């Protein structure tokens, strides 16, 4: 197993849960099982030792849950093979991108409710909400809003890079922007971090309909914000903002950094008593 693959597997399992991807027992070398989150489908992969310089192969459907729609396993297999061809770039890992795409995979015929509308038509996600980025949150915090009460993780050091996660409660996109602005204006250490990666989820109601706002910001740490948002989704937490600060130590960490980012974020969410039992 290459170091890139080992780091990618560690990062994926830290985000989605243990054994999301694992070596297939009693199988040929370089054979792995990939469980698709939100779907009861497991795919068998053949990952060459030269990966990520050489693309992996999705060989078969290993298992399908009893509640899955008929034919969904083959539907997933064909979609995965198509997606991996599009996602793969020699020298770059791509399993996480594949997982994210497969999570959004729909049944061949989307299910509808009694009034004939699809379930998604009753929900608004990712509306026109300002992104939680540093560029939009500089300046002094609003004095009219109560300063955020942050719950912090422990500090993790890896090859001279430092990581700290923090989380606070929020009930609107304005509170998200205010909280980040307050953090950068009042915490000199955070303001000097190489990256302040953030994600938030808010659930509220409008005209007696559920409305969901969720968004993320990489702040220069490519693809890290999406992983943070996915963590919040997996933990099923709402009305929270999580910010992970990284101070770069001069040594690239590769995909392993995503595991650390999500680990400190998870610790902060638990510390803030936002996580469910």
Average pLDDT over residues 176-190: 91
Element (H, E) at 3: helix 3-16
Lowest-confidence segment of 14-28, 68-82, 126-140, 161-175 by average pLDDT: 126-140
pLDDT of residue 128: 37
**pTM (whole model) above 0.75:** no
Element (H, E) at 226: helix 224-235
* Cα distance between the two ends of the chain: 35
Q: Positive or negative CA dihedral for 100, 133, 263, 51? A: positive
Name the more confident of 124 and 234: 234
> What is the pLDDT of the chain when averaged over all its residues?
82
pLDDT of residue 198: 95
| CB 58, CB 18: distance < 8 Å | no
pLDDT digits 0-9 by tens, 65-76 = 877 778 888 889
Distance between CA 179 and CA 199 in Å, rounded? 12
Q: Read off φ and ψ for residue 42, nearest 5 degrees.
A: -120, 130
């Amino acid at each position: 197993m290459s170091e890139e693959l080992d780091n990618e597997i560690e990062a994926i399992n830290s985000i989605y849960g243990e054994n999301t991807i694992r070596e297939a027992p009693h199988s040929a070398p370089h054979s792995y099982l990939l469980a698709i989150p939100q779907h009861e489908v497991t795919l068998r992969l053949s990952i060459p030792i030269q990966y990520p310089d050489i693309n992996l192969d999705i060989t078969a459907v290993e298992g399908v849950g009893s509640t899955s729609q008929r034919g969904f396993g083959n539907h997933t297999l064909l979609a995965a093979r198509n997606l991996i061809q599009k996602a793969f770039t020699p020298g770059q890992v791509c399993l996480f991108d594949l997982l994210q795409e497969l999570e959004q995979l729909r049944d061949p015929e989307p299910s509808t409710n009694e009034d004939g509308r699809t379930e998604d038509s009753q929900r608004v996600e990712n509306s026109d909400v300002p992104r939680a980025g540093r560029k939009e949150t500089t300046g002094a915090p609003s004095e009219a809003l109560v300063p955020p009460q942050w719950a912090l993780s422990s500090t993790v050091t890896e090859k001279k890079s430092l990581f700290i996660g923090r989380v606070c409660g929020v009930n609107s996109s304005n509170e998200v922007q205010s909280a980040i602005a307050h953090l950068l204006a009042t915490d000199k250490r955070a303001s000097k971090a190489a990256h302040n990666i953030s994600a938030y989820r808010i659930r509220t109601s409008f005209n007696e309909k559920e409305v969901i706002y969720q968004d993320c910001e990489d702040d220069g740490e490519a693809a890290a914000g999406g992983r943070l948002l996915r963590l919040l989704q997996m933990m099923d937490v709402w009305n929270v903002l999580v910010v992970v600060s990284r101070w770069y130590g001069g040594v690239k960490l590769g995909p392993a950094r995503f595991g650390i980012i999500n680990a400190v974020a998870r610790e902060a969410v638990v510390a803030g008593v936002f996580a469910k039992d």
